[in-house]
Amino acid sequence: MDFGPFLLLALMEGMVMAAVLALTAVGLSLVFGVMRVVNVAHGEFFMLGAVIAWFVTHYMPGPPAVGFAAALVICPLIVGGIAALSDTLILKRLKYDPEATIVATIGLSYIFQQAALTFYGPDARPVLAPFDLRIQLPWFGYSGYKIAVVFAALAILMAVWVLITRTRAGLIMRATQLDRNTARAFGINVDRVYAAVFALGAGLAAVAAVLIVPIQQAHYLMGHDPLLLSFIVVIIGGLGSLRGTLVAALVIGLSDGVISVFFSPTLAKILATLLVAMVLVFRPQGLFGAKP
Amino acid sequence: MTKLIGMTPSRRSLLKGMAATASALALPGFVQAQSSAPIKLGFQLHRTGIGAAYGRWYERTTQAALKVLNDQGGINGRPVEVIFEDDGTDPKRGAEVVEKLASQAGCDAIFGPLFSHVVIGSAPRAGELKVPYLVCSEGFHVASGKLNRWTMQPGITDVRAQVTAMAPWVSQNLGKKITMVFPDYAFGHDHRDYFTAAIAAQGGEVIKHIAIPPTETSFTRYLPQIPKETEVLYHVMVGPAVLTFVKELGEFYGTGARPEIFGFIDSLEAVDTASPGLEFLEGTHFWEGHCRVKQADASEHETFYRAAVGVDDNGASISDGKDVATYAHMFSCWETLFMIKAGMEAAGYQSTADRQKFVEAVEAMTTIPASQAHPQGDKVFNGKTHQVFGHQFISKVESGKLMRVHTTSIEDGMYPDAVDYTTMAF
């Protein structure tokens, strides 16, 4: 294939990856920014979103689009609910101690993974895309659904931005992030905010999974890669900075797409990890994070 | 302290009591004639992990074969038990499972693993524990001499034989410039190495090798590497994402020009050929180890086997039409179990002390006719390389179904011996 079409395919694949990565990483970044919690179970929330999407689309009658639309609404709600429960029952009891929460979220990730294995099984199962459109370019064909994923992710990210910057709920979140004690002094129920933010972070991962599941398949081990990549993105972008997360997701997603297509996916992963190492050495607060 | 009359034991009676208990414990647990104690076989099953789809069908096929075997009287009149252990399709866990089955469960022999990296990781342990290890894999690793004298593959043909048999048909019917897409581990490397050599022997050439990690979930990024001059795209893929791989292949070509496509059914095991997104496979060809769709000339053994395992004429489960079988591989479990029976009866197997005699008895086997025990077809076993040779099939997708168009002879797949295990120590 010639260089031009090669690059176009690489960029299109990269955009899809960046879109889903942005959604997942923003969830992780929010949780860390507001709660200062490193959520190792974040990848499993992603996997749960995909697995629950399979259940919803499997049991919902009608054309695939109906099931998919239902999954887009139901999955984030359920996964967010599970996250809120985890926060109230476990993380709150640990008083959000940094080391303890890491261990607790590792434990949670094992529980979710094995629960998926027990109730969903070890197989990868496909979920039908809501519509079947193939775009035929002169050099290759491409799935129209993948392009739709990019736009959907953009829309959801816009909605999150509006939520955080323009609504009262977002104001409360930002206040709690700035100074927890002063926020409490102003009458903000910090515990409830934390549960809500944890739920929102998990919900974003679940939505990303629902968008990706018609492209890949739902499998109980699918949370590992998104977890790793989200951490890479959040560290490079700067913990707690949403803008940094978005920029880093774009950089990592596009570079992964381009390097994977022109060289190999392994090299892309090597370079991404190398980038994290460089950032940690030379600019530990990340691209946009606040200096420690 | 109060002395309890008659209840305080003397030292002598205490020692007598301990000696009696020790000798009682040393006696066998049940007093039963050795000849009716069940034969215990361990099965290393891929119940979870990337091989789970195969594991599900391997278990069903083995249970069906076991029932037939026991209904016919078992081995030497003894009933047979199979103990299944999950290895998670993981090499490290595989070695632990071998240990558990051989040492804890006291199995006479172990069989069942499929994925080549698990086999390579587990077989050395079987060699150390001196337990017969009959793999239901396809890798060339058994016949390559890499493993040990305790490891055998008597139930399924290996990749080197398969691709050697395929090369003439592919070069004569599809084209001579091939691009290969394969998983980047032992099994895929066998495809890469031996098909490249086999097609070169036919005057063809592999112009590009595309290796994909078996845990990959997104394949479009590899497809631009397929050169424009490709006449035949050769694909074989494993793992949970195979459906995604084939779908993305179809999306990539779309309605545009595409090369001839020749795949190994591994890319579609447990997947319905009529799945949405796979329409582009119409008219393309696949290697099949055992034809998934019941062909018009199916033997009575084939019919019996299908009914026993619970597979319908389309290759799906009788109880769930959406549960498609890993038909090209699972017969290995059935045939291996009956090979174990044949070997144990030929060796006059009594207990684990006879394990070596059992291996030697299997090594002495040569021609194996098609029968109820061997529904996939007649075979030839090479005792020196511990590998069995059989027929291969090429099918074409017609109206969404795989219909056989070619059967190879056993000789088509033969290659020079790479090892003679019979000269090795046990």
pLDDT tens per residue, range B173-187? 999 999 999 999 889
Tell me how many helices (H) and strands (E) chain B has.
Answer: 10, 17
Q: Mutate one of A117, A216, A270 to test the B interface: name it (highest B CB count within 10 A).
A: A216
Is residue A254 in some structural domain? no
Side-chain-side CA neighbours of residue B348 (13 Å): 0
Q: What residues of A are in contact with residue B252 (Cβ under 8 Å)? A: 140-142
- Band of residue A5 on the pLDDT scale cut at 50, 70, 90: confident
Strands B401-407 and B393-398: antiparallel
The pTM score is 0.85
Is residue A205 in some structural domain? yes
Q: What is the mean pLDDT of residues A276-285?
A: 88
Q: How far is CA A192 from the centre of its chain?
A: 22
- Band of residue A260 on the pLDDT scale cut at 50, 70, 90: confident
Q: What is the mean pLDDT of residues B13-31?
A: 60
A187 touching B, CB under 8 A? no
B257 touching A, CB under 8 A? no
pLDDT of residue B35: 62
Q: What is the mean pLDDT of residues B362-369?
A: 95
Strand partners, B367: B380
Q: What residues of B are in contact with residue A68 (Cβ under 8 Å)? A: none
- Band of residue B373 on the pLDDT scale cut at 50, 70, 90: very high
Q: What residues of A are in contact with residue B253 (Cβ under 8 Å)? A: 140-141
Tell me how many helices (H) and strands (E) chain A has.
Answer: 11, 2
H or E segment to which residue A36 belongs: none
pLDDT tens per residue, range A151-173? 999 999 999 999 999 999 999 98
Residue A291 has pLDDT above 80, yes or no: no
Amino acid letter, residue A4: G
- Band of residue A238 on the pLDDT scale cut at 50, 70, 90: confident
- Band of residue B25 on the pLDDT scale cut at 50, 70, 90: low
Residue A193 has pLDDT above 80, yes or no: yes
User: What is the topology classification, in CATH, of domain B159-296+393-411?
Assistant: Rossmann fold (3.40.50)
Using alpha carbons, select from B277, B286, B158, B303 the residue that is nearest to residue B234: B286
Strand partners, B323: none
DSSP B250-301: HHHHTTS---EEEEEGGGGTTS-TTSTT-GGGTT-EEEESS-SSPPTT--HH
pLDDT of residue B287: 96
Chain A: give the shortest CA distance to residue B252, in Å.
Answer: 5
B48–A122 C-beta distance less than 8 A: yes
pLDDT tens per residue, range A75-128? 999 999 999 999 999 999 998 888 999 999 999 999 999 999 999 988 888 898
pLDDT tens per residue, range A98-108? 899 999 999 99
B244–A217 C-beta distance less than 8 A: yes
pLDDT of residue B286: 95
DSSP A186: T
Using alpha carbons, select from B217, B1, B355, B376 the residue that is nearest to residue A217: B217
Is residue A119 in some structural domain? yes
The residues in A 141-160 lying below 8 A from B, measured between CB atoms, are: 141-143
Amino acid letter, residue B115: F
Using alpha carbons, select from B187, B230, B190, B188 the residue that is nearest to residue B208: B230
Residue B4 has pLDDT above 60, yes or no: no
B218–A13 C-beta distance less than 8 A: yes
pLDDT of residue A19: 95
pLDDT of residue B14: 72
Is residue A21 in some structural domain? no
Q: What is the mean pLDDT of residues B32-58?
A: 87
- What is the interface pTM, i.e. ipTM, of the complex? 0.83
Residue B31 has pLDDT above 50, yes or no: no
The structural domain count of chain A equals 1
Cβ–Cβ < 8 Å for A259, A268:
yes
**Residue in chain A nearest B245 by alpha carbon:** A216
Percent of chain B's residues with pLDDT above 90: 79
A222 touching B, CB under 8 A? yes
Q: Mutate one of A134, A212, A259 to test the B interface: name it (highest B CB count within 10 A).
A: A134
Residue B29 has pLDDT above 80, yes or no: no
End-to-end CA distance of chain B: 63
pLDDT of residue B32: 47
B47 touching A, CB under 8 A? yes
A9 touching B, CB under 8 A? yes
List the domain range (segments joined by +) for residue A213. Answer: 26-222
Chain B: give the shortest CA distance to residue A287, in Å.
Answer: 28
The two tokens of residue B257 are 């020009």
pLDDT tens per residue, range B97-147? 999 999 999 999 999 999 999 999 999 999 999 999 999 999 999 999 999
**Residue in chain A nearest B53 by alpha carbon:** A123
pLDDT of residue B21: 63
Is residue A49 in some structural domain? yes
Q: What is the mean pLDDT of residues A249-259?
A: 91
User: What is the topology classification, in CATH, of domain B36-157+330-390?
Assistant: Rossmann fold (3.40.50)
Residue pointed to by tokens 């034809």: B291
Q: Mutate one of B54, B220, B278, B322 to test the A interface: name it (highest A CB count within 10 A).
A: B220
Q: What is the mean pLDDT of residues B235-261?
A: 89
Q: What is the mean pLDDT of residues B295-299?
A: 93
Query: Is there a common fold for B36-157+330-390 and B159-296+393-411?
Result: yes
So where are chain B's domains?
36-157+330-390, 159-296+393-411
B268 touching A, CB under 8 A? no
A134–B218 C-beta distance less than 8 A: no
B221 touching A, CB under 8 A? yes
The Cα–Cα gap between A242 and B316 comes to 49
Is residue A263 in some structural domain? no
